[in-house]
Structure 1
Amino acid sequence: MQRFYASSLGTAVTRILSGKLTDLWGDARGLSLLGLGYALPVLDAFGPAPSRRVAGVPLDHGPVRWDPAGRGNATVAIGDVRLPFPDGMFDRVIILHGLEESGDPRAYLREIWRVTAPEGRIVLAAANRSGLWARATRTPFGQGRPWTRAQLMNLLSIGLFQVTASSSALYMPPLATPLVTSAAEGWEVMGRMMAPGLGGVVLVEAVKRLYASPGGGAQAPVTEKVRIARPATTNGRDSH
C-alpha cells in the first residue's frame, strides 16, 4: 500500500479521491475523523481542521507510522473485526481498502456503526466490480472482493445506515505513465461523460440513523456529484 501511494499513479489516485471527499465534507473542521483499511492518503487531505484524525490499519499490513500533527503516531493496528474505540467516538468515517478484504462485511459494518456518532457520516470506497481497476492486481484495488454500487447500498441499508449520495471515481486506466497520471482530472471528466458506470472505485456516503428501518437507505437518490450531500450537524457543530 505504502509503495503504491508513494508512486506517481498512487499520487494521482490520492488527488482524485481526496477531491471527492473534500467536496463532500469540506475540511471537516472541528470533527472527529477515522480512516479504516488504508485511508492515510485521503486523511491527509483534510489537514489540521478536524479535532481528531485516527487511522485504523489492519495488523497484517505491518507497522505503519503516521504523525499528521506532530503529536505522535496516530495509527492503530486492528487485528480482528472489533474496533478498539468507544461507542460514538467519530463524526466522520472513511473506509478505503477495508471492505474488499473483510471476511465478514456485515460484522465489520456493525462495528463501524457502533463507533460512529449519531447522525455521523461514513463513506465506503470500494473497487468497482465493473471497472478496470478491480483487474489491476498490481494495485491495492485489484485485491480482495470488488463491489457494485447496489451491493454497497444494500449492505449499508441492512446495517442501519441511510444512503445519502454516491459517486464513481478513477476513470483513468491503471497505468503509471505520465500521459495518465498528469491528466487524471481530465480522465475523470471524460469518463463521467462517456462511461459513467465504469469508474474504478464506487463511493457511497451514508448517515447513521439510530432508528433506521432496514431497506430504507436503498431508496436514497444517487448522483455522480457527491457534493450535493448536505453535511450533517453533529454534536451541535456544523461541518463547513
Structure 2
Amino acid sequence: MCAALLRDRLQWFWPDLRQQRVLGIGYTQPYLGAWRGRGALCVSAVLGRHGSALMTLQQEGGRLPPEERTCLVDAQHLPFGDEAFDRILLVHALQDEEQAVTLLRAAGRVLRDDGRMVLIVPNWFGGRLRQRGTPFAQETAFTRGSLRRVLAHAMLHVERRDEALFLPAGQGCTSLQRGQASDIAGKVLSPGLGSLRLVEVVKDVYSARPLPVAERKVWFSKMMVPVQDA
C-alpha cells in the first residue's frame, strides 16, 4: 500500500512518459509500475546490496513482471552509455553522503542533458521511525541541508519537491484513500514533516568551478624580503 501511494505521487511528477526510457536505481521494482505498460521503456538497476532481495523475489513464484528489464550493478560503474535515459528514479539507493555523491554523479552521466531525476529518501525528522516495518527504516535519513549539499557536490539542481506518508506506515498505509487523505491533511497542517521526501532534480550546467591558475600565496608573503646568501 505504501508503494501504491508513492506510485501515485510519482505519476504526479511524470504523468506521461510514452516513448521515453526510465531507469530505476536501487530497488525500484514496486515503483516502476507507475509507468510500466504505458509506453515507457523501464529498466531496473539493482544495487549489489539488494541482490539477495531480487533473488528471493524471483524464487517466490516469479512475481517479477515478464517485461521487467533488470540487472545487478555497481554504484560506481553503471553499465549504460552516456545520456542513455530520459528519466531516472532512485529508491533505496543512498547510504551516506559520500556514497550518494558517487552514485548521483554516475546517474548524471547516463541521464540526458534535458532529463530529470527523482530521489525518494526518508526525512530526518522521524522518517525512519514512522516507516518502521518498511525498507525505509534502514535507509539513511537526510535533512534538507544535507540533501542540498549532496546534490551540489553531484552537480545537480532541485526543480520540485514533494513529501508523502505523514502517518506511521501501520496507520497511513491501511488503504489508498486513507493514505491520500492523510497526505493532503499533512501538507496543510504540518508541511515539511512528511516521513519521505521526493525531490526532482536536473543537471546544473553552472555548477562547474574552474581551478585557480595561480598558486595561492600566504597572507604574510608580501612582508618577507629575500636576503642574499641567507
Aligned-CA RMSD value: 2.5
Structure 2 counterpart of 1:41, which letter? P
Runs of 5+ unmatched residues, structure 2: 210-230
Aligned residues: 201
The sequence identity of aligned pairs, in percent, is: 30
Taking a change above 3 Å as real, the CA distance of residues 19 and 179 of structure 1, as seen in their structure-2 partners, is closer
Taking a change above 3 Å as real, the CA distance of residues 111 and 177 of structure 1, as seen in their structure-2 partners, is closer
TM-score by length of 1: 0.74
Taking a change above 3 Å as real, the CA distance of residues 28 and 181 of structure 1, as seen in their structure-2 partners, is closer
Correspondent of 1:189 among 173, 184, 188: 184
Q: Any idea what SS the aligned residue of 1:138 has? A: coil
Q: Any idea what SS the aligned residue of 2:139 has? A: coil
Taking a change above 3 Å as real, the CA distance of residues 190 and 162 of structure 1, as seen in their structure-2 partners, is same
Equivalent pair of 2:122/2:139 in contact (CA under 8 Å) = no
Equivalent pair of 2:117/2:202 in contact (CA under 8 Å) = yes
| 1:25-70 C-alpha deviation (Å, 9 max, x unpaired) | 11211110011111111101113234421111122321255754x4
Task: Tell me, in whole angstroms, the C-alpha distance in 1 between the residues paired with 2:151 and 2:32.
Answer: 22
Indicate the residue corresponding to 1:131 in structure 2.
126
Indicate the residue corresponding to 1:169 in structure 2.
164
Indicate the residue corresponding to 2:41 in structure 1.
52
Equivalent pair of 2:130/2:169 in contact (CA under 8 Å) = no
Correspondent of 2:136 among 116, 132, 141: 141
Runs of 5+ unmatched residues, structure 1: 1-10, 216-240
Taking a change above 3 Å as real, the CA distance of residues 34 and 98 of structure 1, as seen in their structure-2 partners, is same
* The 10-residue stretch of structure 1 (54-63 or 34-43) with the greater mean CA deviation from structure 2: 54-63
* The 10-residue stretch of structure 1 (79-88 or 16-25) with the greater mean CA deviation from structure 2: 79-88
Equivalent pair of 1:123/1:205 in contact (CA under 8 Å) = yes
By relative contact order (CA 8 Å, sep 6+), the higher-ranking structure is: 1
Task: Tell me, in whole angstroms, the C-alpha distance in 1 between the residues paired with 2:49 and 2:3.
Answer: 22
Deviating above 6 A after TM superposition, structure 1's stretches of 4 or more consecutive aligned residues are none
What pairs with 1:149-160 in structure 2 (closer than 5 Å)? 149-160=144-155
Indicate the residue corresponding to 1:76 in structure 2.
71
